[in-house]
Structure 1
Amino acid sequence: MPIVFLIIVGAAAGFIATRIMRIETDVPTTIAIGIAGAVVGGLVLRALLAVMGMMAGLVGAILGALALIYLWQKISNK
């Protein structure tokens, strides 16, 4: 079933992409463009999510460290 779904989504994505880029291709080429685009897009999206996940972890770590420094300063000043 995933292969059939990939072909359907690839055909739709290829059709939309070829219309946006204003190129004329036959149906097999359109499907191939869509499937290849789905693979490339999926890899890029996974990479971006991984980087954003790491960045979110970094931001969380910085905020946590700031909170601890703030609490340490409040406790040590008393």
Structure 2
Amino acid sequence: MPMIMLIIIGIAAGFLATRVMNVQADLPTTIVIGIAGALAGGFLLRMLLVMTTFAAGLVGAVLGAVAVIWLYQKYIER
């Protein structure tokens, strides 16, 4: 289903992109440009989200470990 949505969005994006970039292209070329752009952009965005999620998980893990060390030093190690 996400691929079908990217294709549908890509058709509209191709139309808008050719107008913004002032490219005179026929309808099939505009559709292909839009679909290719949507698929590439969707892939890149998913990769960025995966990397961001990994980085957020790493930061969260480090902060959690720092909190545990602080609690250990404050209350257990006396």
TM-score band, normalised by the shorter chain?
Answer: 0.7 to 0.9
What is the count of residue pairs matched by the alignment?
Answer: 77
With structure 1 as the length reference, what TM-score do the two structures score? 0.85
Unaligned runs of 5+ in 1: none
Moved over 6 A (4+): 1-4
**What is the aligned partner in structure 2 of residue 69 from structure 1?**
69
Percent of aligned positions with the same letter in both sequences? 58
Unaligned runs of 5+ in 2: none
With a CA cutoff of 8 Å and minimum separation of 6, indicate the structure with the bigger relative contact order: 2
Cα distance in 2, alignment partners of residues 7 and 46 from structure 1: 16
Shifted more, 4-13 versus 19-28: the winner is: 4-13
Cα distance in 2, alignment partners of residues 43 and 11 from structure 1: 17
With structure 2 as the length reference, what TM-score do the two structures score? 0.85
CA contact (8 A) 2:11 2:30 kept: yes
**What is the aligned partner in structure 1 of residue 14 from structure 2?**
14
Cα distance in 2, alignment partners of residues 58 and 7 from structure 1: 34
**What is the aligned partner in structure 2 of residue 57 from structure 1?**
57
